[in-house]
Amino acid sequence: MNNAMSQKEIVRKSLKRRYRKEQRFKFYGILAIVIALSALVILFADIIGKGYTGFIKTTVTLEVQLDPEVMYLEDPTDAEAFSMADFKAPLVVALENQVSDATGKTAQRALGQLLNTYAANQLRDAVKADPGIMGTTQTMTFLAHDDVSVYVKHGDDPTYTVKLSEQQQAWVDQLVEAGVIENSFNDVFFSNGDSREPANAGVLGAIVGSLLTMLVTLLLSFPIGVAAAIYLEEFAPQNKLTDFIEVNINNLAAVPSIIFGLLGLAVFINLFGMPRSVPVVGGLVLTLMTLPTIIISSRAAIKSVPPSIREAAEGIGASKMQVVLHHVLPLALPGMLTGSIIGMAQALGETAPLLLIGMVAFIVDVPDGLFDSATVLPVQIFLWAGSPELAFIERASAAIMVLLAFLISMNAIAIWLRRRLERRW
């Protein structure tokens, strides 16, 4: 009795200590989550803070008088005269009308520098498309030079160097006042390929390149991965050979991705003679990289199908193949899809293996096929982050946001598919 009492006493005494321990344990858990979340918040705040201005473009809207005399272009259908015509002059004239005190050649040149390098090309293309506009006055919108854009967007931020002269700054202030220079949503960023002019640079080329590469990866890695997983789980005999294969697949999942790039270079480009920088080769390399992930997650999904389902199917006379195709596969599919999408998301963010097969390149044109030179989103970010022009820093951060949006939506699809297709027993 006495003994029991003291035991109760001991428990009662230690109870407080144990509760405290539990409190501390909970606190450590919360602390871990807070650290992880705050790291994420800092990352997002930094990227969004730096990058949101990448979604803003600065434009100049001008009343352009297409005066044949100013442009030295009497006959726009004459190819020779067309190539010798001055398409910059009417733009400078139109700017001159908007600002005060811009006289003389030097001032005109400085004024012309406010416009995007390819503004004259834009006018040339417009005249080429419709020679009838010669001699009329057109309201046209051009991109501003990125120095102007930096001044308008970041003029009071000391980390940005404003490269305009004082006179140019005064003009820009006047033009902003007059509503000629405006900021608006940067649609160019989503409709252009790469460019060395930050104002003209866009992610469309990289997005299309990523989609083409991912298409190849998905079409190859999902069927091969699922087939390999089914065979290994359901059909393969348990022997040394299958053990060996299993160990190797697990090892492959941990191999650094650049090794797959080396393999791709040696096999697909040097041995098969495929061209460099194309989405097919990129897709093949990323297939090799994602296969182990897909095989491992698919095998786990197949393993999680209860044996009772197989036994029941076999019990009513289904063949092995019927069991697999009619019962195991549909039930394992959500897990397989989730694994594949996570593998694909990993492949989407990969640059290292693509470096070796030539996809880290400056490509202006948006790719239009699997054998057309292309780059991918993370590579585009890498290239912009290394560019000397300050305006590319915000472009790089904006592209990171686009990439994150893709990754988040892929993961959301994975979760949605799992919720929708998952069955509980």
**Residue 387 lies near another protein (rule: CB under 8 A):** yes
If the CB atoms of residues 156 and 177 are measured against another protein, the closer one turns out to be 156
Q: Which helix (H) or strand (E) holds 182?
A: strand 181-185
Number of residues that bind another protein (CB under 8 A): 45
- Minimum CB separation from another protein for residue 76, in Å? 17
The pairing of beta strand 56-65 with beta strand 137-143: antiparallel
If the CB atoms of residues 361 and 407 are measured against another protein, the closer one turns out to be 361
Binds another protein (CB under 8 A): choice among 104, 158, 237, 317: 158
DSSP structural state of residue 6: H
Cα distance between residue 49 and residue 397, in whole Å: 9
- Minimum CB separation from another protein for residue 255, in Å? 21
DSSP states along 53-99 = GGGEEEEEEEEEE--HHHHT-S-TT-HHHHHH--SSHHHHHHHHTTS
Cα distance between residue 268 and residue 375, in whole Å: 17
If the CB atoms of residues 244 and 362 are measured against another protein, the closer one turns out to be 362
Stretch of residues binding another protein (CB under 8 A), selected from 92-100, 221-229, 238-246, 303-311: 221-229
- Minimum CB separation from another protein for residue 104, in Å? 17
Binds another protein (CB under 8 A): choice among 26, 128, 196, 326: 196
For tokens 């890498």, what's the residue?
382
Binds another protein (CB under 8 A): choice among 31, 37, 39, 364: 364
**Residue 195 lies near another protein (rule: CB under 8 A):** yes
Angle at 164 between CA 163 and CA 167, to 5 degrees: 155
**Residue 25 lies near another protein (rule: CB under 8 A):** no
- Minimum CB separation from another protein for residue 345, in Å? 23
DSSP structural state of residue 133: G
Binds another protein (CB under 8 A): choice among 114, 207, 288, 360: 360
Contact between residue 362 and residue 194 where contact means Cβ atoms under 8 Å apart = yes
Name the residue among 372, 386, 184, 174 with its Cα closest to residue 278.
Answer: 372
Cα distance between residue 290 and residue 381, in whole Å: 22
- Minimum CB separation from another protein for residue 129, in Å? 15
**Residue 45 lies near another protein (rule: CB under 8 A):** no
Backbone phi and psi for residue 10, each to the nearest 5 degrees, phi listed first: -60, -45
**Residue 161 lies near another protein (rule: CB under 8 A):** yes
- Minimum CB separation from another protein for residue 12, in Å? 57
Cα distance between residue 5 and residue 3, in whole Å: 5
Contact between residue 399 and residue 418 where contact means Cβ atoms under 8 Å apart = no
Binds another protein (CB under 8 A): choice among 27, 185, 190, 362: 362
Binds another protein (CB under 8 A): choice among 119, 123, 218, 280: 280
Q: Which helix (H) or strand (E) holds 138?
A: strand 137-143
Sheet containing 137-143: order of strands:
137-143, 56-65, 181-185
Binds another protein (CB under 8 A): choice among 223, 256, 306, 330: 223
Stretch of residues binding another protein (CB under 8 A), selected from 127-135, 169-177, 247-255, 385-393: 385-393
- Minimum CB separation from another protein for residue 222, in Å? 10
- Minimum CB separation from another protein for residue 373, in Å? 5
**Residue 108 lies near another protein (rule: CB under 8 A):** no
DSSP states along 286-302 = HHHHHHHHHHHHHHHHH
If the CB atoms of residues 93 and 265 are measured against another protein, the closer one turns out to be 265
Cα distance between residue 148 and residue 154, in whole Å: 10
Q: Which residues bind another protein (CB under 8 A)?
A: 117-118, 121, 158-163, 195-197, 220, 223-224, 227-228, 230-231, 235, 272-277, 280, 284, 358, 360-365, 371, 373, 383, 385-390, 393
